[in-house]
Amino acid sequence: MFAYGEKVLLIDAKKRRYLFTLKSDGEFHTHSGFLRHSEVAGQQEGVVVRSTKGSEFIVLRPTLEDFVIQMPRGAQVIYPKDLAPICMMADIYPGAKVFESGLGSGALSMTMLRYGALVDGYEIREDFANRAQINVREFLGAETLNRYHVSIRDVYEGIEGSDFDRMVLDLPEPWQVVPHAEKSLRKGAIFVAYSPSITQAVKTRETMRDGWLDHRTLEVLHRTWHIEGASVRPDHRMVAHTGFLTSARFVGA
């Protein structure tokens, strides 16, 4: 049953999605009327509720993808089409000791924490760091913050700590972090950088010399399909380029 304080996803007849938190005195307002949160609390997933104007909404619990797309943000997020490949390339696993920098609004942090990782994050902007921690708490719960340690620091100046299993970066100049990575990663660790520009990816790869193996750079293209009866075709629009993912494995100088 839905309880107050939970996140709720409403889907209307036109497949539009609305995300909010249930409050005892809350109301959800739309051009199609409004409904009280109390009409959702105590119901099960899949129930259909109606607004004051008779519009129908299906009620579901949001997925991580739903939350990332619609969550409050202070910086541009890494979208789901890249979040999953990053976690696969970095081989994020329960208990992995991960160093992250460039937290933004926390989308990547949430994904790795959902995988069970222990995340140490550097963010140069305090407002971004605060937003990332709030979003993690809002979706994954306050107890998750025990595995999420955020510092207001410039990673280009160095990294405290060592023996990290993984390093994941979303920064303008990830190549500046490579020398620090060589001091803070354990042997066999994996490095992944998300870069909007191919020149950023190239410079990062050029910085990785002795001690780095299995270099690769890729981009993920996301194309959906229209399937309706005999009409089967690719959708007219697709999510093409968002960023380049560069990974390598550190084995020591």
Same domain? 77 vs 173: yes
Same domain? 167 vs 44: no
Last residue in a domain, options 62, 86, 101: 62
Residue 1 domain-assigned (yes or no): no
Same domain? 52 vs 93: no
Q: How many structural domains is the chain composed of? A: 2
Same domain? 12 vs 42: yes
Same domain? 45 vs 70: no
Residue 196 domain-assigned (yes or no): yes
Full residue range of the structural domain in which residue 148 is found: 66-250
Same domain? 53 vs 171: no
Same domain? 77 vs 107: yes
Per-residue model confidence (pLDDT) at position 77? 82
pTM of the model: 0.89
Which amino acid, 245? L
pLDDT tens for 169-222 read 999 999 999 999 999 999 999 999 999 999 999 999 999 999 999 999 999 999
Residue 212 domain-assigned (yes or no): yes
Residue 2 domain-assigned (yes or no): no
Same domain? 130 vs 54: no
Burial (0-12, 13-18, 19+ Cβ within 10 Å), 203: middle
Question: Which pair of tokens denotes residue 251?
Answer: 């084995």
Same domain? 46 vs 77: no
Same domain? 87 vs 201: yes
Q: Which residue in 56, 74, 78, 71 sits closest to 21, CA to CA? A: 71
DSSP 193: E
pLDDT tens for 89-139 read 999 999 999 999 999 999 999 999 999 999 999 999 999 999 999 999 999
